Amino acid sequence: MDSWIQVAVTIFCSIAASSGFWAYILKKHDKKDAKTKMLIGLAHDRIVHLGMSYINRGYITPEEYKNLIDYLYSPYKEMGGNGSAEKIIEEVKKLKIERGKNE
């Protein structure tokens, strides 16, 4: 039984010490970072685009406000985004909340 444990420990240590194993782990980690960066970038673009359209219009509807804050800005901020999108959100929060002209 002791020989099986020695073999298992040897195999485990060989895998953990191999450069290919760590290269694989790092590559998976990099892909997640790239996906996270892409999601943050897309959310930022959408927040800025929508926010500016509401600011230019001069008001925001309750539904638009909820969608912008709950479904875009909150997850964006949790993922680490901030900066100019945060400035846009602060301006949007100052807008009048009213029903749209077509509602």
Per-residue pLDDT of the chain (103 residues; tens, 9 = 90+): 578 888 788 777 777 677 676 677 666 666 568 888 899 999 999 999 999 999 999 999 999 999 999 999 999 998 888 788 999 999 999 999 998 666 5
Plot region of 100 (φ>0 → left; ψ -120 to 50 → alpha; else → beta): beta
Domain that includes residue 39, residue range: 29-97
Q: Enter the tokens of residue 11.
A: 């195999």
In a domain, 102, yes or no: no
Helix-, strand-, coil-residue percentages of the chain, each rounded to 5: 80, 5, 15
Neighbours of 51 (CB within 10 A): 24
In a domain, 74, yes or no: yes
In a domain, 89, yes or no: yes
CA atoms within 13 A of residue 6's CA, in its CB half-sphere: 3
Our count of domains for the chain comes to 1
